[in-house]
Amino acid sequence: MSSRGLRMEVVEGDITVLDIDAIVNAANETLLGGGGVDGAIHRAAGPELAIYCRTLGGCPTGEARITPGFRLPARHVIHTVGPVWGGGQSGEDDLLASCYRNSLALAVENEVRTIAFPAISTGVYGFPAERAATIAVETVTEFLNTDTVIARVLFCCFGTESARYHRTNVNRVS
């Protein structure tokens, strides 16, 4: 098994084009679609994804649900619901960490070995990007410390600033 650092990689660009076991969607509690990365994933996966999501009955903040990838190159989509940033005193950090932990646990249950995360909550939900990147990388690192199933975790960042925040943290824990 490679070291933690080698199992994590930062890439920049559109998560919907990745040919990988699973991509993570930054969804909302309805799981019925929206803007940002959620909109992009639903557009690329096709209408079957929304039809399937309707059967799931939503997802509470901090939890995760898995669906097929339909027309995406990714085999699965793991939908998680990040916290809306409200200043940091409402458990936002813990809820964001739960998104990463629960998504990875669901990946392992479904024999997903390669997975890509967007920067959950840092768009419409307003979570500060640098703080979110630190939580993302620390939480994934802790998970990989005891996991032997996941071979590769990509942080798929939209924009150079987000990529820089993630790279700084990945380099720190490697």
CB of 44 to ligand AR6, least distance (A): 8
**What is the distance of C-alpha 26 from the center of its chain?**
6
Q: What are phi and psi of 101, to 5 degrees?
A: -60, -50
Q: List the interface residues with ligand AR6, window 15-74 (CB under 6 A).
A: 15-16, 26-28, 34-38, 40
CA distances for 17 relative to 27, 43, 69, 71, angstroms: 18, 12, 11, 11
Q: List the interface residues with ligand AR6, window 128-167 (CB under 6 A).
A: 156, 158, 162
CB of 108 to ligand AR6, least distance (A): 23
Q: In sequence order, which residues have a C-beta less than 8 Å from that of residue 15 and are 6 or more positions away?
A: 23, 24, 37, 40, 41, 116, 118, 156
Burial label for 65, CB within 10 Å (0-12, 13-18, 19+), is buried
The widest CA-to-CA distance across the chain, in whole angstroms, is 42
Whether 49 and 42 have beta carbons less than 8 Å apart is answered as: yes
**Cβ-based nearer residue to ligand AR6, 48 or 147:** 48
**Cβ-based nearer residue to ligand AR6, 16 or 169:** 16
Stretch that binds ligand AR6, among 10-18, 102-110, 145-153, 163-171 (CB under 6 A): 10-18
Strand 22-27 versus strand 8-12 pairing type: unpaired
Stretch that binds ligand AR6, among 11-19, 67-75, 100-108, 146-154 (CB under 6 A): 11-19
Please give the positions annotated as active site: 38
In the numeric block, the tokens 């990745």 are attached to 18
Q: Report, in angstroms and rounded to the nearest whole number, the Rg of the chain calculated over CA atoms.
A: 15
**Cβ-based nearer residue to ligand AR6, 14 or 109:** 14
Q: List the interface residues with ligand AR6, window 111-130 (CB under 6 A).
A: 118-125
CB of 169 to ligand AR6, least distance (A): 15
d(CA 118, CA 108): 18
**Cβ-based nearer residue to ligand AR6, 55 or 145:** 55
CB of 117 to ligand AR6, least distance (A): 9
Binding site for ligand AR6 (CB under 6 A): 14-16, 26-28, 34-38, 40, 82, 118-125, 156, 158, 162
